[in-house]
Amino acid sequence: MIRISTIDIVRTSLGGTGKLLPVAILITCAFAAFWLFPYDLGFLTQMLIMMVFVVSFDLILGYAGVATLGHAAMYGCGAYAAGLFAIHASPDPLLGLAVGAVIGALIAFFSGLLLMRAHGLSLLMLSIAITMVLQEIASKARDVTGGADGLTGISMTPILGVFEFDFIGKTAFWYAFSVLFIILVVLRVLVASPFGLALRGIKDSPSRMRAIGTPVYWRKVTAYVIGGTIAGIAGALSAQITSLVSVEAFNFALSADVMVMLILGGAGRLYGALIGTLVFMTVRHVAASIDPFNWLFVIGFMLLAVVFFLPDGLISLPRRVAGMIGARK
Amino acid sequence: MTVALSIVVDGIAYGMILFMISVGLSVTMGLMRIVNLAHGGFALLGGACAHVLTMRYGMPFVPALAASVIAVIVIAIPLERLVYRHIYRFSELEQVLATIGIVFVMIATVNLFLGSTLLTIRMPPEVSLPVNLGFKVLPLHRIIVIVVGLLMVTGLYLLVERTRFGIYLRAAVDNQNTAASLGIDTPKVYLAAFALGAGLAAVGGILGAELLPIEAYYPLRYMVLFLTVVTVGGMGSIVGSFIAALSLGILDTAGRYLLPDVGTIFFFLAIIALLALRPNGLLVRPS
Amino acid sequence: MRRLCAGLLATAIATFALGGAALAETIKVGVIATFSGPNAIWGKQFKEAIQVYVAQHGNEVNGNTIEFIYKDVGGPNPDASKAAAQELLIREGVKYLAGFDFTPNALAVAPLINQAKVPAIIFNAATSAINKQSKYFVRTSFTLWQVAVPAAQWAAKNGAKKVVTAVSDYNPGIDAETAFGSAFEQQGGTIVEKIRMPLQTTDFAPFMQRIKNSGADTVFAFLPAGPATFAFTKAYSENGLKEAGIGFIGTGETDETTIDALGEQAIGLTTAYHYSDVHTSDLNRAFAAKLGELFPKSRANMASMGAYDGAHLIYKMIELAGTDGDKAIEAAKGLSWESPRGPVSIDPTSRHVVQNVYIRRVERDGGRLVNREFDLVKSVPDLGFDR
């Protein structure tokens, strides 16, 4: 069982050619998906939004090593904030994203003050409890949120006044992709920065980081706020593109899915988050449309196979295969 | 006054059910330190088995309960040998992924054979009779659950604290290598403890089914509830789980009596406050 | 000259071929529902009922072949519902949408059907306000107002004076509480207490105590069918409410798909609802027989009936208006027919089904429990549309 050391990760993410190649691959993939699956843009857009969401969780779990099961708190708040802003203040999509981001950050900050002091099981439970409280509030504030029926009446003006949301979902697809792309670029810079290195250090050994004078708690709160901001953006995207927000945005199952997708792809690697989301959502979509009754078997065995044979996640597959071929020679 | 009494009695009765359904998890997760999200899966298998035995084959409740628990243990043993044994060594996150995978497979299996509707377990009709305690009416089965719960917590306490098995188990969890070098057969100890956890999960699933009915998605529907009890109880402590379950039962019941409109918010805020003050559970002081 | 002839011939053939195609078109209907996860029963009931309808009536209308395409959204999930509708409309070119078990899933497609001018037939989602979001929505199920008001009227007429309402604390529950309360007070009764129970409630004992203390003679309950109803009815019978003389009236709690799981405790529960699978009519017997033949393990419930009548409505709309969405909606308004549940019609204003609401009591019938109808309120429209 070969584990990739932190040094390796740092080296790859700082590597010169490694900087441009993934960007090119990402854009190529987006164009390929757009041309190959013109009828599935709705589903692809959902996947892009989920990628934004999972990447935001990667910063928290994968880089800072903070395991929570309540990441939907920021997603849901971002979604409601963007939805309410569109209805009552301005239908401009970019302003709405900003509002979702700010609310996501605020929720993350205030809950983070408490959460980042906790560890292990108690951290998991606290994050679940906070999400439950928020969901219950959203469900009870029927006059504001529409309760279980969902928040309706969201309609958006064209993005930058030019790109109108169309019936087929082309604009929504490129809108979600652009947001994902920008966030990935920002996160890539961030994780390679001293702040990112400090996070990895905290993940490996908080006591050592404390000993060299790093304010461990505040670094973690900062990471949580950045993660929350991005999760808020993901929620806002979903609200704007679906034109509806439901209390399901706070579901425990959503937080759990995000964690599963991330570990599946490979936590602590931005592209691991993307691959995990891609594989999980595709398998679920395909398996559920072939046999909705038994698709859980497929997902269940897939998770077991990955955890037993690819402990570093799907992203380590090429390396493992290469390793096996190398060993045979 | 009557309200206070009602809260305490209903709360204890409910808390005892919470203890029953999560005691298996306090063994696997609390004592053995595996993030065992598949706990509800064993309860589901036990409940499904009891459903088939009592409804399809007309077996009386008590033999069906015994047979179902044995069946779950029989399933758990090879599962431990083949799968869980490797999971012990995994990091916490990998344990999450692996046990979620296992629980998905369990759900899909029950769904395949029995569908996704409620799977009732037939009990003798006497257990649902209301019993008048003078100040309060309580269904007989709640009284049975209270008695069984008390027996269970006493038995487990003695098992873990007073028997050789308990000492071996605690030693094996604390330091596997040292325990092994002292001649403790750690794989066997783990196997026994795991089978115990699975069996208890089945008992809890079946006895708790009067309140939390068994259906294919049971393990996911109540996962938060199981985790709450074990977290508030604190890792490694059966007595802690017991006290946590009773406190949570009383807390939840009090919320429903006094603040019914915001009961859920009250319940989770109380848990947040509690965990903020005592992050390692009720009985363990913050280090 | 010869070239011209050939050209003309080709054009003629092409015209003929196109004309022929237009005559025998395949009209696709997209069904969006939950086929996986804990709520998979909805999709299953929808699909089976549609298949029964097709088995009874064939798959052709005016020479057009009707094809149903099913899409799973895995539960209440508006994002997935919208994506599924987009895919159905763009890739499959469906001319009708149908299904919709949960309210948010229906609401999410409103902007799409407005743009595409495609009718969407709702088989379940029971919030009155949905039909206001698009003029292309038609509903063949029920609304809470439609069944809770007759429940209140019947209760008032049959001796209930003081009622406590106990509902799950979410929109359908609040709808039921308001509808029942206003109708009951109109009849001169008193609502002594309104209890809202959190959706996550697993132990209903505290609420039973409050119901007892309220001094009411009857409890009106609304809970989602499944575990919550199971635990509630259990608590009702185990905490001695029956013995204390507190009557029970509900709506869809005794759904046919979960009623047998409720067991003996359910016997005697009274509910007001629009469909029971033992409704006595030849049409219902024929429907039940066909369902039993095709799906021996299945039992019809309100979801089956919503889908069965929905399929009928779609056939009718295609017969009258083909694939023209606007015309089809106009054609649907005021349609009336005899359904297995009894006489039904589509109200032109609310585009919602007008139907009888039956008062039923749970009884044992051989090896199973049934909702036996013993009274009815005739031709009830959606009473919540104008609120």
Q: C266 and C160, same structural domain?
A: yes
- Any domain includes B287: no
Percent of chain B topping pLDDT 70: 98
How many domains in chain A? Answer: 1
- Helix H or strand E segment including A177: helix A170-192
Q: Report which of C105, C68, C115, C116 is spatially closest to residue C83, judged by C-alpha positions.
A: C105
- Any domain includes B225: yes
Q: What is the CA radius of gyration of chain B?
A: 19
**DSSP symbols for A226-261:** HHHHHHHHHHHHHHHHHS-B-GGGG-HHHHHHHHHH
CATH of the domain at B103: 1.10.3470
What are the respective helix, strand and coil percentages of chain B, to the nearest 5?
75, 5, 20
Other beta carbons less than 10 A from residue A326's beta carbon: 8
- Any domain includes C102: yes
Smallest CA–CA distance, residue B198 to chain C, in Å, is 23
How many domains in chain C? Answer: 2
Q: C36 and C81, same structural domain?
A: yes
Please tell me the predicted confidence (pLDDT) of residue C101: 93
Q: C81 and C50, same structural domain?
A: yes
Beta-carbon separation of B256 and C227 below 8 A: no
Q: Report which of C176, C199, C156, C172 is spatially closest to residue C250, judged by C-alpha positions.
A: C176
Q: How far is CA A294 from the centre of its chain?
A: 27
Chain B residue whose CA is closest to A312: B94
CB C60 within 8 A of CB C315: no
What 3-state DSSP class applies to A5? coil
CB pairs under 8 A between A and B: 125
Task: Give the tokens for residue C246.
Answer: 């507190």
Torsion of CA B68, B71, B72, B77, to 10 degrees: 160
Angle in degrees, CA A187, A311, A259, rounded to 5: 50
Chains that touch C (3 or more CB pairs under 8 A): A, B
Give burial (CB, 10 Å; 0-12/13-18/19+) of C258: buried
Q: C197 and C126, same structural domain?
A: no
- Helix H or strand E segment including C32: strand C26-33
Query: Phi and psi for C168 in degrees, rounded to 5?
Result: -70, 140
What 3-state DSSP class applies to B23? helix
- Any domain includes C51: yes
- Any domain includes C3: no
Give burial (CB, 10 Å; 0-12/13-18/19+) of C283: middle
Angle in degrees, CA A43, A45, A47, rounded to 5: 75
What 3-state DSSP class applies to A94? helix
Smallest CA–CA distance, residue A136 to chain B, in Å, is 7
Task: Give the tokens for residue C205.
Answer: 């004992």
Task: Output DSSP code: residue B181.
Answer: H
Structural domain including C116 reads 12-142+280-351
**How would you label C85-100 residue by residue, b for 16+ Cβ within 10 Å and e otherwise?**
bbbbbbeeebbbbbbb
How many Cα atoms are found within 13 Å in the side-chain-facing hemisphere of C249?
31
* Alpha carbons C104 and A147: distance in angstroms, whole number: 10
Query: pLDDT per residue over A55-72, tens digit each?
Result: 999 999 999 999 999 999
* Alpha carbons A312 and A269: distance in angstroms, whole number: 10
Question: Mean pLDDT across chain B, nearest whole number?
Answer: 88
Restricting to B residues 64-103, those with a Cβ less than 8 Å away from any Cβ of C are none
Q: Where are the alpha helices (DSSP H) in chain C?
A: 2-23, 41-57, 78-87, 103-108, 110-116, 130-133, 144-157, 171-186, 205-213, 227-238, 259-262, 282-294, 302-321, 325-332
- Any domain includes B284: no
Measured CA distances, C181 to A138, A239, C36, C188 (Å): 25, 35, 36, 11
CATH of the domain at C361: 3.40.50.2300
Assess C210–B contact: CB distance below 8 Å, yes or no. Answer: yes
Task: Give the tokens for residue A28.
Answer: 């190529």
Q: C178 and C104, same structural domain?
A: no
The ipTM is 0.89
Angle in degrees, CA B226, B227, B230, rounded to 5: 90
Nearest to B212 among C195, C202, C238 (CB): C202
What are the beta bridge partners of residue C372? C361
Assess A91–C contact: CB distance below 8 Å, yes or no. Answer: no
Q: C137 and C22, same structural domain?
A: yes
- Any domain includes B171: yes
- Any domain includes B283: no
Q: Report which of C36, C33, C39 is spatially closest to residue C101, judged by C-alpha positions.
A: C33
Chains that touch A (3 or more CB pairs under 8 A): B, C
- Terminal CA-to-CA distance of chain B, rounded, Å? 39
What 3-state DSSP class applies to A168? coil
How many Cα atoms are found within 13 Å in the side-chain-facing hemisphere of C150?
25
Smallest CA–CA distance, residue A260 to chain B, in Å, is 6
Other beta carbons less than 10 A from residue B270's beta carbon: 18
Beta-carbon separation of A142 and C174 below 8 A: yes
Per-position pLDDT tens, chain C of length 387: 444 444 444 444 444 444 434 457 899 999 999 998 888 899 999 999 999 999 999 999 988 999 999 999 988 999 999 999 999 999 899 999 999 999 999 999 999 999 999 999 999 998 888 999 999 999 999 999 999 999 999 999 998 999 999 999 999 999 999 999 999 999 999 999 999 998 888 889 889 988 988 889 999 999 988 888 889 988 888 888 888 889 999 998 899 988 888 888 889 999 999 999 999 999 999 999 999 999 998 999 999 999 999 999 999 999 999 899 999 999 999 999 999 999 999 999 999 999 999 999 999 998 899 999 999 999 899 888 877
Nearest to C74 among A38, A155, A288 (CB): A288
CB A96 within 8 A of CB A86: yes
C84 CB neighbours in chain A (<8 A) are: 42
Task: Output DSSP code: residue A214.
Answer: -
Q: Report which of B7, B20, B59, B38 is spatially closest to residue B212, judged by C-alpha positions.
A: B20
How many domains in chain B? Answer: 1
Beta-carbon separation of B97 and A140 below 8 A: no
Query: pLDDT per residue over B200-253, tens digit each?
Result: 999 999 999 988 999 999 999 999 999 999 899 887 788 889 999 999 999 999
Beta-carbon separation of C116 and A167 below 8 A: yes
Largest CA distance in chain B: 59
Q: C371 and C228, same structural domain?
A: yes
Structural domain including B188 reads 2-277
* Alpha carbons C41 and B115: distance in angstroms, whole number: 9
Task: Give the tokens for residue C94.
Answer: 């469906």
Angle in degrees, CA B231, B237, B243, rounded to 5: 70
* Alpha carbons B102 and B41: distance in angstroms, whole number: 8
Nearest to B101 among A294, A300, A311 (CB): A300
Q: C162 and C108, same structural domain?
A: no
* Alpha carbons C194 and C211: distance in angstroms, whole number: 10
Other beta carbons less than 10 A from residue C193's beta carbon: 17
Restricting to C residues 133-172, those with a Cβ less than 8 Å away from any Cβ of B are 169
- Any domain includes B16: yes
Please tell me the predicted confidence (pLDDT) of residue C241: 87
Query: pLDDT per residue over B73-91, tens digit each?
Result: 999 999 999 999 999 888 8
Does B133 have pLDDT greater than 80?
no
Other beta carbons less than 10 A from residue C72's beta carbon: 24
The residue type at B99: T
Smallest CA–CA distance, residue A133 to chain B, in Å, is 5
- Any domain includes B282: no
Torsion of CA C277, C280, C286, C287, to 10 degrees: -30
CB B257 within 8 A of CB B6: yes
Q: Catalogue the long-range contacts made by B166-171 (C-beta closer than 8 Å, 24 or more residues apart).
A: B169/B31, B169/B32, B169/B193, B170/B31
Query: pLDDT per residue over B136-186, tens digit each?
Result: 778 888 888 899 999 999 999 999 888 988 888 888 888 878 888 888 888
Largest CA distance in chain C: 99
Smallest CA–CA distance, residue B229 to chain C, in Å, is 15
Q: Where are the alpha helices (DSSP H) in C275-386?
A: 282-294, 302-321, 325-332
B125 CB neighbours in chain C (<8 A) are: 264
- Any domain includes C37: yes
Q: C299 and C195, same structural domain?
A: no
Nearest to A259 among B96, B107, B264 (CB): B96
- Any domain includes B285: no
- Any domain includes A4: no
Restricting to A residues 284-303, those with a Cβ less than 8 Å away from any Cβ of C are 288-289, 292-293, 295-296
Q: How far is CA C290 from the centre of its chain?
A: 20
- Any domain includes A22: no
Q: C264 and C178, same structural domain?
A: yes
- Any domain includes A319: no
Matching residue, tokens 């419930």: C301
Q: C362 and C347, same structural domain?
A: no
Task: Output DSSP code: residue C249.
Answer: E
Q: C190 and C95, same structural domain?
A: no
Beta-carbon separation of C78 and A169 below 8 A: no
Structural domain including A48 reads 43-251
